[in-house]
Structure 1
């Protein structure tokens, strides 16, 4: 079955990515920095980040099984976006660590399935043209770039807690737009029972294991890169620009996604992404000047752009039609959930004793290990099912 939706439907999917990553353009670079400024320790920041990822691991799978089992992906998507938006507003009323931790847990429960459901919507909408995924996903990168630069300037002019209100505004817009998201209708089947069959095949375990290591290596970056740059004396505007440049670099890869995957196998792209991640984290050990830091950020085009697209396509190829939501949720849960949770915990526990340079050294080793495993064991993975 190769379902597709109209051009206007694909445009609405692009708009959802635009709004989603507008919010991410505030949360990823600046929320941990906000926590640092209100007095949370490195361990507490790592714990907050890890708990958010832990909720992603468990509850994205729960929501996805319900969505596939009852053919209710769109209603659950809308429900979770609206509830998570309301919960985010509670951050406005406290700076207490334990309250922030509790809010983060409840927020994570409902926010957890949003991106994996959006990926599943997009895979369905593209049908036989799945290699054009980047042309829709690129709108998320465009918004991320604009937002991180703009927010950096705003924070330099005003207080950093302004980010809480701005996230609430962006999430509210995404909530209202969610009603227009297209969904390909599927016949109701007992898809939930495909969960163990889909996830416990050898090729899936190898892929998810390596993807887990890849995102674990990103924990130091997502958790402490902004704090590291501030410690080097850089302004919030420059910090925002570094994040923007990273996203700018991935746009070219996403726009040319069809050409990329026409010329290179998913396995080749994934192995190369692992190796470039090891190089990127190694560079951050030694780079201190603005030019070299910005240069290293260009590797984001591979370590995120190429890796993310190939991962989505890889997991889509490994899952049957009736378990697509579960497949993407599992991919998202193991990588951005469990992988980042592990990375955040590691970074939070080790930041004060070994510093950012030590964290990036460990990250480089982890990424290198993932590449070595996938190079030797990933060759036997069937990218496209017979």
Structure 2
């Protein structure tokens, strides 16, 4: 793979996941700074996440018909930037919810097409994909740390300024990419998308992934507020989250080899079991800095390893003319439905911090159920 293309794809991942490095730790801080209750924060995050149910599928249908993933990425990043700009002026509950939902609707256009475009460009090499994708993790770390310091120095409203700048960088980076050539040859092995979706292995894979995302609800929604309530300094949020992402990066270096050795099923089951342990010790022992660091280290399995195995599973499961829709359905269902349920339930259980332990126990139970389902997945190495 030529160096300029590698650099451009890597920066696009850096910017895309840099936005996540801002949103995951600090969106709840931003909303808390505007004096919303934990229940209201849970509702806003649920609506924000629920747009992933519809958005990716609609964009993917357009991408599959046009064969132009890059155009969708550019349109999505541009409209996401414009939508995010509304947060500078909107302050009410419904207006902020609308702005975030609109932003998410356009933002969800980007990742499925970027994943497909990258896999086509690198000829589905798991090794090269891992090296490109790790720059997304670097972007997450950099933004999580920088945003934490900036918000601490100024106030929670700095969230909007940081987000706007990174979205602008993402849009500019999308203009530097080129659409790869991909020739689809129709063959006698072609099958309908629905026939691939209803196969037992995919259903088990889908449900287990959905439950994993439900389990992330307390972490994505309230981790920053959780640490604040435990008297950690404000900059600790970015540091703890970054520690987990560093572990995730290490996994990306070896993920391709692990997939070849063990296949999807074993990696998925292992990741889910480890994540169950992670949520339990987070809920019960987060006041101990060393145990919390250990819990964050387990992010290597709960996201890095699971994500790599999932992407490879989807690539193996769907045919070339189904890749955009396959990725979109996976993201829409798992991240959209699962994330929305997780955010809403955690908002209900959290009770302004008094239900923190119960929220993480619920998360651990979801992962245990998911690991049991994943045991029955049949997948190619």
Query: For this structure pair, what is the TM-score category when the shorter chain's length is used for normalisation?
Result: over 0.9
Alpha-carbon distance in 1 for matches of 2:305, 2:379: 19
Give the aligned partner of residue 255 of structure 1.
253
Q: Deviations over 1:271-324 (max 9, x none)?
A: 000000100001012211222212210000110000011011111110001111
Give the aligned partner of residue 281 of structure 1.
279
Match status 1:176 vs 2:188? no
Alpha-carbon distance in 2 for matches of 1:132, 1:255: 9
Alpha-carbon distance in 1 for matches of 2:123, 2:238: 36
Contact 1:223-1:347 at 8 Å conserved across structures: yes
Displacement, 1:99? 0.6
Relative to the length of structure 1, the TM-score reads: 0.93
> 1:117-132 residue pairs with structure 2 within 5 A?
117-132=113-128
Match status 1:140 vs 2:136? yes
Contact 2:264-2:379 at 8 Å conserved across structures: no
Alpha-carbon distance in 2 for matches of 1:6, 1:62: 32
Give the aligned partner of residue 363 of structure 1.
363
Aligned pair in 2 of structure 1 residues 173, 221: CA closer, same or farther (>3 Å)? same
**3-state SS, counterpart of residue 174 of structure 1:** helix
Give the aligned partner of residue 266 of structure 2.
268
Relative to the length of structure 2, the TM-score reads: 0.94
Match status 1:318 vs 2:317? yes
Q: CA RMSD in A?
A: 1.8
Give the aligned partner of residue 343 of structure 1.
342
Displacement, 1:48? 1.3
Displacement, 1:188? 7.5
Aligned with 2:379 (options 375, 378, 382): 382
Alpha-carbon distance in 1 for matches of 2:254, 2:43: 38
Give the aligned partner of residue 328 of structure 1.
327
Match status 1:217 vs 2:226? no
**Count of aligned residue pairs for this structure pair:** 376
Aligned pair in 2 of structure 1 residues 10, 350: CA closer, same or farther (>3 Å)? same
**3-state SS, counterpart of residue 226 of structure 2:** helix
> 1:147-162 residue pairs with structure 2 within 5 A?
147-162=143-158
Contact 1:12-1:181 at 8 Å conserved across structures: yes
Alpha-carbon distance in 2 for matches of 1:123, 1:356: 40
Contact 1:56-1:113 at 8 Å conserved across structures: no
Alpha-carbon distance in 2 for matches of 1:240, 1:129: 32
Give the aligned partner of residue 198 of structure 1.
196
Give the aligned partner of residue 237 of structure 2.
239
Alpha-carbon distance in 2 for matches of 1:31, 1:275: 28
Displacement, 1:358? 0.5
Q: Deviations over 1:334-376 (max 9, x none)?
A: 222111111001111221186111000000000000001111x
Structure 2 unaligned segments of length 5 or more: list them: none
Structure 1 unaligned segments of length 5 or more: list them: none
Range that drifts further, 245-254 or 118-127: 118-127
**3-state SS, counterpart of residue 346 of structure 1:** helix
Alpha-carbon distance in 2 for matches of 1:361, 1:38: 29
Alpha-carbon distance in 2 for matches of 1:194, 1:115: 24
Match status 1:106 vs 2:105? no
Give the aligned partner of residue 17 of structure 1.
13
**3-state SS, counterpart of residue 180 of structure 1:** coil
Alpha-carbon distance in 2 for matches of 1:280, 1:38: 31
Contact 2:15-2:169 at 8 Å conserved across structures: yes
Contact 2:76-2:107 at 8 Å conserved across structures: yes
